[in-house]
Amino acid sequence: MRERHGRWPLVGAAALAPVTAGAVGRPALRPLAALLWHQTEEWVWPGGFLPLMNREVLGSDEDEWPLDPRLGLLINVGLGWGFSVATIAGAPAAFPTALLYVSHLGNAGLHVSWAIRRRGYDPGLVTALATLAPTAVLGLRRLHADPAVSRRALAAGVLAGVALSAALPPLLRRRRR
């Protein structure tokens, strides 16, 4: 797998246990723990996310195009880990935190719709429902209830998360052409 997807999925899987243990006493680490669980299911065990996404969702004839390992690294590590770590900052990071949570809800929705359409499991379904969705719902509720959170930043983050979730599949389909 390392030759195929790089080292980042294995680094994430190795970080899963310590980050999850740390998240027990520190809620700020929960978004990163949820994401690492999800990425491990998609990319490491049982894996198979790239072929599913490319062939069945995006209609490609290739396992690793238009979503390739390099783009997977950018999305999962750059955006996913980056925004997850930003949540530690609390109220000042309302924009990236809201964006992350809304994109998690979009991700969960996609996994559920793919599973329904395929009438079976897809890599990422279990953790999208068990970790991403609950973390996102609870996190958005906490953001909304926090008087220190800028309403403008929160709204902008929600809109950006919706835009990202809605735009990514069509952009990948366009890249396929």
State whether residue 105 is helix, strand or coil: helix
Q: Which distant-in-sequence residues (6+ apart) come within 8 Å of 70 by Cβ?
A: none
Structural contact between residues 152 and 96, judged by C-beta atoms closer than 8 angstroms? no
CA 138 and chain centroid, separation: 16
Q: What percent of the chain has pLDDT over 90?
A: 81
> In terms of pLDDT, which residue wins out, 57 or 176?
57
pLDDT for 176:
74
Over the stretch 38-62, which tens digit does the pLDDT of each residue have?
Answer: 999 999 999 999 998 899 888 899 9
- Supply the angle between the helices 151-176 and 133-145 in degrees, to the nearest 10: 150
Work out the pLDDT band at 111, boundaries 50, 70, 90. very high
* Model confidence at 2: pLDDT above 60: no
Give the lowest-confidence range in 65-74, 130-139, 146-155: 65-74
Q: What mean pLDDT do residues 64-74 have?
A: 91
Predicted model pTM: 0.92
Question: What is the torsion angle, in degrees rounded to the nearest 10, for the CA atoms of residue 38, residue 163, residue 105 and residue 152?
Answer: 120
Give the lowest-confidence range in 1-15, 19-33, 34-48, 74-88: 1-15
pLDDT for 4:
61
